Structure 1
Amino acid sequence: MKKLLLMFLTFFKIGAFTFGGGYAMIPLIEEEIVKRRDWMSKEEFLDIVVISQSFPGALAINSSIFIGYKIGGLKGAILSLLGVVIPSFTIILLIASLFMQFRNNYYVDLVFKGIGAAVPVLVLTGVISLGKALNKNIVTVIIVIVSCILTLVFKVHPVIIILVSAIYGIIFLQKKVK
């Protein structure tokens, strides 16, 4: 029970102090779950992030559910979900109720500009961290380069790239089972 409470508080902290959505949360979740608490390996974490991206819904919510389930079963999934959602939900309710009063405030505008500038760095940190865990070989490098080109140059939707990559992995990257 103590571990479940600690997991709830960990996800609550992550949900309360992360701006920019799920991708900005990835480095913080990894730091807490993999490095600080040692609740799972980096490879397991990477697998969960990949699976979470494949499911509909927010990355942070999907990741918290999968991580919570791995650590504490159904109770863990529910508590980690509540932990990551309650802070955002509360903050959004508070902001929505006060926004009209402060929307043109100079300092509030500066705060959002500062937060907005930090979010891409948090996302980049997550990309670099996850990239370190990849099995680096020529096939992986080609998939990354082709995915970037398709997304940035040809504006192919990321879902299509994820599905094609998943199919490629199923067909060509199977481990031989004896």
Structure 2
Amino acid sequence: MTFLSLFITFFQIGLFGFGGGYGMLSLIQHEVVTNHHWMTAGEFTDIVAISQMTPGPVGINTATYAGYTALQNEGASSFLCFLGSCTATFALVLPTTILMLLISRYLMKYKDNASVRLVLDSLRPAVVGLLAAATLLLMTKENFGSPQENAPEFFLSVGLFLLTFIGAKFFKIGPIKMIVVCAGLGLLFMRN
């Protein structure tokens, strides 16, 4: 039954996940953590971190790891977990593939149509909103710690967040360099 739920859930996310992988993160988190309870918020955060570090689109990578983790948390075998990964990934990509095949044929023909322009222009703010929601949903105690429980870890996390934001926004430092620098600083300062 979990396979059917995985398929339906990730098919819907793929169908309504405008804005690419980062836009999908808030939808994925809501479904896998809040709605289906397939994993904890901490596990989801780890999945997003791994998805960003591995090659490929973050949304598809997240679906792959989420499908695996959902079945792993139910005690399934490695093979069934692998099938869970395949199910979630296929379901996420399927609606996009179908829509792109249908839309690509007509988009070039009607791209200058006023109604089509209006729809595309209206989707832009929605995409920005989904990206903002994904960012805010990841600003949790699991990611930043708590000043009451571990003040040095909390302030280091906030510092790394600000360093990454400033480096990417103002100095145009690439994400790979930022990940390496932050991982190094995390190793250096969070040693026990």
Same fold (TM > 0.5): yes
Letter matched to residue 52 of structure 1: S
- Secondary structure of 1:94's match? helix
Q: How does 1:60-139 map to 2 (within 5 A)?
A: 60-72=59-71, 73-133=81-141, 134=143, 135-136=145-146, 137-139=154-156
Letter matched to residue 45 of structure 1: F
Question: For 1:75 and 1:121, how far apart are their aligned partners in 2?
Answer: 33
RMSD: 1.2
- The Cα offsets for residues 50-87 of structure 1, whole Å up to 9 and x where unpaired, read as 11001111001100110111123011000000010001
Question: For 2:17 and 2:119, how far apart are their aligned partners in 1?
Answer: 14
- Secondary structure of 2:186's match? helix
Question: For 2:6 and 2:185, how far apart are their aligned partners in 1?
Answer: 35
Identify which range, 141-150 or 40-49, moves more after superposition. 141-150
Q: How does 1:48-59 map to 2 (within 5 A)?
A: 48-59=47-58
Over 3 Å off, 4+ runs: none
- The Cα offsets for residues 134-174 of structure 1, whole Å up to 9 and x where unpaired, read as 21411111111111111111110112101221233334324
Residue 164 (structure 1) aligned with residue 172 (structure 2): no
- The Cα offsets for residues 100-131 of structure 1, whole Å up to 9 and x where unpaired, read as 22111100110000101111111011101101
- The Cα offsets for residues 17-56 of structure 1, whole Å up to 9 and x where unpaired, read as 1110011111111111000100100000001001100111
Question: For 2:87 and 2:106, how far apart are their aligned partners in 1?
Answer: 29
Letter matched to residue 53 of structure 2: S
The aligned length equals: 174
- Secondary structure of 1:163's match? helix
Gaps of 5+ in 1: none
Give identity over the alignment, percent: 34
TM-score by length of 2: 0.87
The answer to which structure, 1 or 2, has the higher relative contact order (CA under 8 A, 6+ apart) is 1
Question: For 1:149 and 1:100, how far apart are their aligned partners in 2?
Answer: 38
